[in-house]
Structure 1
Amino acid sequence: MNKRQSIPFVLLLAALLIWLFFKQEAVLPSLSVHHPSYIATDINSTHFNKTGFLDYKIFADKATNFNEDELTNFKKPKVIVYTHNDQTDTTTIWQITSAVGALYQQDKLVLSKNVLVKNLSLDQLVQTIKTEQLTLFLDKKELSSDLLVTLEGPQIHQQGVGMWASLVTEEVIIKDQIKAVYFNENK
């Protein structure tokens, strides 16, 4: 190859190297720091305990999951909790609804705005619990709230600030500013 033939090749190679050096990097769209792993609508999730009994079900209009934070946000969640008593071989069913909810690390569900806990079995002293925010520990089946709580049943109407309850042991503790009315009627 003579000099004359190699000049266009060298110029082409130089142009390619200059173009590669000054070429702008492609700008890729960046995702926000907290982008959801998935968004789903009309959620229906059923969970069983280690012995095979139905543990709880979660329904929601919409769920947004953030895997990095181990967080799932729900719109209009409804949770059905089943508690099985081995001694009497009975199952009590509780329904918990609210406007919004957030599930942390698969066992702590924080429900907010118009929270209603309802005994669907009608077999407990307390039939309904109303509050604006409630934390449900799904693994222990415990409820807690630091806000105003109203408990109602066939023979009781009770209000107070702060509450802890166990759906398994059927215990309820109102913490402060308690107002209670007990009805002495057989229903």
Structure 2
Amino acid sequence: MKKRHIIPFAALLIAFLFWSYFKAEPLYKISKVHNPNYTAYNLSSTHFDTLGDISHKMFADKATTFSEKNNTVFINPRVIVYVRNKDNNQISTWQISSKDGLLEDENTLKLTHDVRVENLSLDQLIQNIATEELTLLLDKKEISSNLFITWDGPQMHQQGVGMWASLLSNEMIVKNNIKAVYFNEKN
């Protein structure tokens, strides 16, 4: 090869090497933040069990769903859970509300900040439960918390740390530091 052919070829090769070494960043970056699939405001939804009965209703000021994570984030969620008594076929209605919520895998609802559980039917020994964090298993209708809780019923006020309760079987287990006050007053 002649010198005049080698010099432009070498200059082109050096320019290509510099370009590949100092190559500019792409104009767009892949975001590590998961983008929502959809956001709903003033959410209202009704869910049914396998027999076609209403299982629960969900309400929220805002719901944001992320399909990559398979979860939904709620602002001011409120869930109304319907529990049918197998003995007398009556339905007990429970309302569970909080300031924040996270639904994972369609059945595990984790509620935080000012969580309230209320028996709207007034047909259970426990009428109200309050805590700062609670997990609701929608398919099993179980609630649990590892934090300080208080609960009230007719003529009683109790508190403790950690609990598990089944809305289906009307069972409740409080784990630690139980304190109770019973009132002898008739309502």
Q: TM-score range by the shorter chain?
A: 0.7 to 0.9
CA distance in 1, matches of 2:157, 2:25: 68
CA distance in 1, matches of 2:184, 2:26: 77
Q: State the match for 1:7 in structure 2.
A: none
CA distance in 1, matches of 2:35, 2:95: 31
Q: State the match for 2:144 in structure 1.
A: 144
CA distance in 2, matches of 1:123, 1:182: 19
Tell me, yes or no, if structure 1 residue 42 matches structure 2 residue 38: no
Structure 2 unaligned blocks of 5 or more: 1-23
- 1:83-102 mapped onto 2 (5 Å cutoff): 83-102=83-102
Superposed CA deviations along residues 131-180 of structure 1, whole A, max 9, x for unmatched, are 00000000100000000000001122110000000001011111000001
Contact 1:125-1:155 at 8 Å conserved across structures: no
Identity %, equivalent residues: 52
Root-mean-square deviation (CA, aligned residues, Å) is 2.1
Contact 1:161-1:174 at 8 Å conserved across structures: yes
- 1:9-88 mapped onto 2 (5 Å cutoff): 27-28=27-28, 30-88=30-88
Q: State the match for 1:110 in structure 2.
A: 110
After superposition, the Cα gap between the structure-2 partners of 1:25 and 1:157, relative to the gap in structure 1 and judged at 3 Å, is: closer
Q: State the match for 1:12 in structure 2.
A: none
The count of corresponding residues between Structure 1 and Structure 2 is 168
CA distance in 2, matches of 1:25, 1:116: 50
Q: State the match for 1:175 in structure 2.
A: 175
Structure-2-length-normalised TM-score:
0.83
Structure-1-length-normalised TM-score:
0.83
AA partner of residue 148 (structure 1) = F
